[in-house]
Amino acid sequence: MRLIYYIFILFTCLFLQSCDLGHKTEEGKVYYYTWNEGSGSNRYLIKDADIKTFKALENSNYAKDKNYGYFEGDKIKGIDSQSFQSINDYYAKDNLHAYYENKIIGGALGKHFEVIKEGPYSKDGKNYFYKNISLNISDYKTVKILDNLTIIDRFHIYIQSDINSDSSFTKKFPLNDYDSFELLKEGYSKDNKRVYFKGEIIELANPKTFEILDYAKGKDDKNIFYGTCKIENPNTLIDLYGIYMKDNLAVYYNNRKIIGANPKSFEIIYEEWSKDDKNVFFEGKKMKNIDCESFEQVKGYFVKDYSKVFYKDSIIINANPKTIKTFDNWDFIRDDKAIFFH
């Protein structure tokens, strides 16, 4: 009985907390309420909100007044206030536009806009959208949504970045045979003519004999593939750190061959940074503006050669490599004149 009592108290507390979330008017002002386990209930003043016309919409994430729309307290400019309405927790529309969270969905026709299921896809009768991104569909009538990251029409495959990413993007690839196309597993798909990895064609792969070995690894009757590239010598293939692999003929990073890398002298410096006896690489690409002989890691993504300091693949202007020093915090470095952070 005591356990049941505590469970009842817990659910009661959660219910009461949820009732206090969202947009509220108090003391002649408008606030947005949030809650988290660390700090409990918090409220944020919404500046410039018109309290006389302010209205929380059906889904608590959205609200509006005569001038603006609001998503979780963030202002949405340029709305048609009279027709602005929420669709679900993350989508809204008016007669002019459609919105994902607080962002306008570029090119979407508000009057005809509809969310497919609960998202992340939507459409307006002429185009499809992923979150706030226009997919620029080639053939609207033949669109098939295969999963949350993959959509096709008769002419193209559309691959979305990670659905949990805040900086989503879409890649569009030619499709060879629409009628036979099928989504496989581990990033692979195929039709009667081609095999694909994340939408990109694997040039030498045979769809009739292709088999999946693991994520980003597959084979057919003649070759073994890592992502879209053919493994040069599978008998000597070894996994290195993370998404690095090598055989005795080539080095591979993130499903691609590192052009010009020497597998005999190749070493991983830190995450995306690597080198061999002649070149330095970042994200598998040769860095032409770094001197390999004097190259060394400073800390984390900070590196240097005899004349320059870098954060990732960007030069830190005016940083002196001869006097550069580190802090305990990985975000900062300093030389004799200044502090630098990314």
Neighbours of 286 (CB within 10 A): 15
Q: What is the pLDDT of residue 17?
A: 44
Query: Contact at 8 Å (CB) between 269 and 240?
Result: no
3-state secondary structure of 336: coil
Q: What is the pLDDT of residues 284-317, one digit of tens each?
A: 999 999 999 999 999 999 999 999 999 999 999 9
CA dist., res. 177 & res. 74, Å (int): 44
Check whether 167 has a pLDDT greater than 80: no
Q: What is the pLDDT of residue 9?
A: 42
The type of residue at 201 is I
Query: Contact at 8 Å (CB) between 315 and 289?
Result: yes
Q: What is the pLDDT of residues 66-121, one digit of tens each?
A: 999 999 999 999 999 999 999 999 999 999 999 999 999 999 999 999 999 999 99
Q: What is the pLDDT of residues 7-60, one digit of tens each?
A: 444 444 444 444 568 999 998 999 999 988 777 889 999 999 999 999 999 877
Of all residues in the chain, the percent with pLDDT exceeding 70 is: 92
Q: Among 13-22, 111-120, 207-216, 326-335, where is mean pLDDT lowest?
A: 13-22
Query: Contact at 8 Å (CB) between 167 and 182?
Result: no
Taking CA atoms, 274 is separated from 112, 223, 292, in Å, by 50, 27, 11
Q: What is the pLDDT of residues 244-269, one digit of tens each?
A: 999 999 999 998 999 999 999 999 99
Query: Contact at 8 Å (CB) between 251 and 263?
Result: yes
CA dist., res. 148 & res. 141, Å (int): 19
Write phi, then psi, for 150 (nearest 5 degrees): -135, 130
Report the pLDDT averaged over residues 197-222: 95
Please name the helix (run of DSSP H) or strand (run of DSSP E) that holds residue 121, with its range, or none.
strand 121-123
Query: Contact at 8 Å (CB) between 320 and 336?
Result: yes
3-state secondary structure of 15: helix
- Top-confidence residue, 328 or 3: 328
Q: Please compute Rg for the chain using Cα positions.
A: 26
Please name the helix (run of DSSP H) or strand (run of DSSP E) that holds residue 7, with its range, or none.
helix 2-19
Residue 50 tokens, joined: 């018109």
Query: Contact at 8 Å (CB) between 227 and 255?
Result: yes
Nearest to 184 by CA among 218, 160, 161: 218
On the CB side of 342, CA atoms within 13 Å amount to: 15
Taking CA atoms, 136 is separated from 155, 156, 277, in Å, by 12, 10, 45
Assign 168 a pLDDT band (cuts: 50, 70, 90). Answer: low
CA dist., res. 198 & res. 160, Å (int): 9
CA dist., res. 168 & res. 302, Å (int): 26
CA dist., res. 342 & res. 229, Å (int): 33
Write phi, then psi, for 256 (nearest 5 degrees): -135, 155
CA dist., res. 175 & res. 154, Å (int): 7
Single pTM value for the model: 0.77
Report the pLDDT averaged over residues 147-170: 81
How does strand 211-214 pair with strand 40-45?
A: unpaired
Check whether 324 has a pLDDT greater than 80: yes
Check whether 169 has a pLDDT greater than 80: no
Nearest to 129 by CA among 152, 163, 96, 106: 106
Bridge partner residues of 302 (DSSP): 299, 311
- Top-confidence residue, 19 or 170: 170
Q: What is the pLDDT of residue 65?
A: 97
Check whether 123 has a pLDDT greater than 90: yes
